[in-house]
Structure formats: structure tokens, C-alpha cells
Amino acid sequence: MRLFILSVCTVLITLAVSNNTQAQCILVDGQLVQADGSPCANTIITAVPFLRIIPDARFGAMGDAGIAVSPDPNSMHFNAANLSFSEKDLGISVTYTPWLRALGLNDVFMAYLSSNLMLDAKKNRTQALGMSLRFFSLGQIQYTDDQGNALQTVRPNEFELAFAYSRRLGKEFSVGLTPKYIFSNLGNGTGSGAQPMRPAHAFAADVAFAYRKPLKIGKKKDPNASLNFGLVLSNLGTKISYTRSSDRDYIPANMGIGTSFEYNFDEHNSLTFAFDINKLLVPTPVARTIQDENGNAVVNPEYDNENGDGTGDGEPDYKQKSIPAALFGSFGDAPGGTGEEFNELMYSIGLEYWYNKQFAVRIGHYNEHSTKGGRKFFTVGLGVKYNIFNINFSYLIPSFGAQRNPLDNTLRFSLLFDFDRLGNESKPTPK
């Protein structure tokens, strides 16, 4: 029952989940392939995958790229080190993201509240604080037993509460630290046997770095461009469990590297190009059974091998690694070798164009290998600044033949309040 509930919830909240076909794989020359010779799907699945959902419409319209993009309150998700480069003293953003609308569901959604505050706005502007609250509702779910009899109706939900501190170490380099608390309630008291489900808790942190280098292009006296870089290790924390058993799951630890180029053509036109690469720092799953060259199902000796002879305690070895072993080992544990490790990289490309600092147009593309989830989609979006408000919209367009996405053809929006501008407008204009 527990595995069934977790599977259903994972399908609802992950961006895309491909079918794991490892049971149909053939072991050929040390490589797992399907009968037709194509690579086997081996999607990495973690608990609480909602932590990796892009929470806002601005970055969501840029192909989910944002690690090195100019900061706003939603940089809390991507790279908290950027917050100390903010030109605004205070900002608050609210985002609402409907979920699975294509399936006719109206009660599944994610809400995101974030803010940033400069601590020394009147001095050197080197320190900033951030806060965010991410809430995910899975709507109403009817649980049943193994015979299909109704047990109870529940409303599963999850949330993440995070705080950030960012500090510049010089004019161009900054660091950030984001401790966070994670709560996941997929059905308190549901289940059968001696292991009923209970709410799960976890603690984690993000460690972030940002570098922004002003550039002079042409004969302009002031820098009119910048080349930016970012590195983020996110969700580094404890495992999580929904029962009292020792079986615990990894949270979606991730390493992200990003770069962006920002160019101001003149006082009215500016353009940003962003490119991100992400990789989950989680062990790659190992198939429990495989097929040999003759088509016979055999036990995979690498699945549970504590005793060194293909036998163990019944739990897969890759799920029993310590957190440090899982993080460092994730760079070289794929059953398919180096080729599969590169397949685990996810790519985001985005463009943002601003006119007169009031109207923005954004486009982007996201790409994930077909054996690792197969998420491939285009994004478009608009942004409008009016007085103290900044309204952003984004729309996700699935690529032809790609894995379906819960945000397919869904319009989402963010509302950002610029209180710094409101404060400046209330002051008398210097003569």
C-alpha cells in the first residue's frame, strides 16, 4: 500500500515520469539495452520532487534557466547568492501555478511566496536576506485497500520553508546559504499492516556562489553589459521516510551551473541570454531483474550485493548509501557508464528582452534525455512593470513526441511588489 501511494503521488508532482523499462533490458557487453538495441530508460526518482519545480513565471518562461540571471525575490529557488546583487532594497513576490489542468483537475496547485531584503542598503549593499514558502496541494484523493474498498478521503500537501543569507566577498563575487525545513504529508494514518503512513520531515540547505563581471562594449563610458556565472548545490540534507521503518528515500539534491550575458543596447532596450545545466546528486537506480542474451529473466547481481555474491538484506544497495557517499558517488554510479552519466544532465536555455524597463518578452527551451524522464518543452512569457507592480506570465508548449508535462499548455503568473520604488516615490525630488 505504501509503495502504491508513493507511486501515485510521484506521478502527480514530478514534472514528468517515464516508465522504467529495466525489467525488459538485456545485458550485452556490460551495457543494459532493450531488445531493439536502444538504451534502457532509467529515470532517477526521489521523494518530495516538488522541491525542483520552478516556482515562478519569469524564470519559468526562460526555459527554467535562472542560476546566473539578474536577481529578484524568486532567486531564492535558483541561487541565493544573487540576492546581494539586487538593486532593490525590498521585494516580495507571489506566484500561483495550476497543476494537471489538462487532466481536468482543479484542486492541484503550487503557491510560492518569496522576498528579499538588503541589510545595508544605505551603505555598501553587500548583505541580503531572503525568505520563501513553497506550498504544494495534491487536491483530494480517495484511498482504497488492496480489494478496492474505500478507506478515507485525504488532502495530501507538502511545503518548504527556507531562509537565506547572501554576502558579497568583493565587488563581483558573492556567496549564499539557504537552510530549509521540508514537510510532506501524503496521507497520515493511511496504509495497512504495521507501518501506517505518517507525515515526513527533512532538513536541508543550499550552498550558492555567484560572479558578476561588468563589461564595456563599444565606446560607452559606463559598463553596458555583464557576464555572469553561478554554481549552486541545493537540497543537501537528510533522507526522508513516510513510515517508522528504516527504509528512507533521498530528497532531490542537485548541482546547477549557470551563465548569463546581459547587454543594454541603450537606455530603452536590453537583452539577457541564460544557459543552465543541472544534475541530480542522487544514486542512479539499479534494475532488480534483467534479461540475459537468451531472453531469460535473471537476478541482477549489482542490485543487492552486501555479501559479495549477489545476495544481501533485501534492500537495493543504491538506496542504502550514506548522504556523502550518494552525493559524490552520483558522478560515477550509472550502470551504463560515462554515457549514461552525461544523459543525466538537464539543459535550460532562455532569452529575456526588456523595452524601456517596462515590457518584457521571454522565450526558452528545456531538454532532458529520453532515458532520464524525457522532458522537452518550449516556454514563452511576458512581463509588465507598472508603478510598484511587476506582473509576469508564462506558458509551456510541449515538444512534439516528448514526455507529457503537468504544466502542458498551462498559463501561470507571478506578481512582484517593488516596495523600494514605492519608498523612493514618497520622497521629495531633490532640487
Structure-block grid coordinates of residue 369: 534525455
Provide the pLDDT for residue 311: 65
Note whether residue 95 is domain-resident: yes
Average pLDDT over residues 78-99: 92
**CA distances to 112, 116, 183, 351 from 109, in Å:** 10, 24, 16, 26
Confidence of residue 21 (pLDDT cuts 50, 70, 90): very low
- Pick 426 or 61 by higher pLDDT: 61
Q: Tens of pLDDT along 146-160?
A: 777 777 778 889 999
In a domain, 65, yes or no: yes
The answer to whether residue 392 scores a pLDDT higher than 90 is: yes
Question: Domain holding 365: CATH number?
Answer: 2.40.160.40
Which of the given ranges, 22-31, 214-223, 289-298, has the highest pLDDT on average?
Answer: 214-223
Measure Cα distances from 401 to 12, 38, 369, 375, 431 in Å.
Answer: 20, 17, 13, 10, 62
Q: Which residue's C-alpha cell is 532594497?
A: 89
| Helix/strand/coil percentages in the chain, nearest 5 | 15, 40, 45
d(CA 150, CA 412): 34
Give how many domains the chain has, as a whole number.
Answer: 1
Higher pLDDT, 198 or 423: 198
260 touches 228 (CB < 8 A): yes
**Residue closest to 244 by CA, chosen among 202, 203, 198:** 198
Q: Does 352 reside within a domain?
A: yes
Q: What is the pLDDT of residues 402-412, one digit of tens each?
A: 667 777 778 88
**The domain containing residue 8 runs over which residues?**
2-426
CA within 13 Å, CB half, 90: 9
Contact partners, residue 357, CB within 8 Å, separation at least 6: 270, 385
- Per-residue model confidence as pLDDT tens digits over 248-291: 899 999 999 999 999 998 889 999 999 999 999 999 988 777 77
Indicate the pTM of the whole model.
Answer: 0.86
The reply to whether 431 falls in a domain is: no
Q: Exposed, middle or buried by CB within 10 Å (0-12, 13-18, 19+), for 367?
A: middle
d(CA 202, CA 141): 24
Q: Is 304 exposed, middle or buried (0-12, 13-18, 19+ CB in 10 A)?
A: buried
pLDDT tens profile 288-325: 777 766 667 777 777 777 766 666 677 888 888 889 99
- Partnered with residue 150 across adjacent β-strands are 144
Domain assignment present for residue 348? The answer is yes
- Mean per-residue pLDDT, 21-49: 72
